[in-house]
Amino acid sequence: MKEEKQGLEESRSAQLVGAKRDVTLALIVLNVFVFVVEPGLRDHAHLFFEQRYSLSVAGLKAGYWWQFVTFQFLHGSWLHLVANLVLLHSMGPVLETTLGHRRYLFLYLGAGAVGGLVHAGAAFVWRSEEHTSELQSRQYLVC
């Protein structure tokens, strides 16, 4: 019994050494691509992009429900992007190998969407008069 358990642990370790990275690499490339391309958009295109794809109360009120997914690929700074990518690069292959490609992608997008839902709900509920001007200046950006 003990030998069997040890054998399972060794095979699991060997499996993680050759961890799957297809979805993880695609997510990393997509995050970097969006981060590099977005600032290069001209003023009107950048505003359009921000209004449609950043998570915002105004966008959600306008019916842009896809913001719960698209905001996950937007980052405010290089530090924000690098921190997320380091975590994604270190944890992604383990999760992808353990869960498989589809379930891993569902976990990534689903967890982000739930986080966005909580964040948007909090922003909607706790939006006060003193923060209204700040929110308006950022087009009601949530994340």
- Give the per-residue pLDDT at 139: 42
Q: Is residue 130 scored above 50 in pLDDT?
A: no
Polymer length in residues for the chain: 143
CA distance 27 to 32: 9
Q: Which residue has the tokens 């909090």?
A: 122
User: What single letter denotes the amino acid at residue 127?
Assistant: R
Helices (H), 42-141: 43-53, 57-61, 67-70, 78-99, 101-125, 129-137
CA distance 58 to 142: 9
CA distance 140 to 137: 7
Mean per-residue pLDDT, 19-42:
90
Q: Residue 35 gets which letter from DSSP? A: H
Q: pLDDT digit string (tens) for 99-115?
A: 999 999 999 999 999 99
CA distance 37 to 124: 29
Mean per-residue pLDDT, 31-43:
88
Bridge partners for 141 per DSSP: 56
In this prediction the pTM is 0.73
Cα 130 → chain centroid? 29
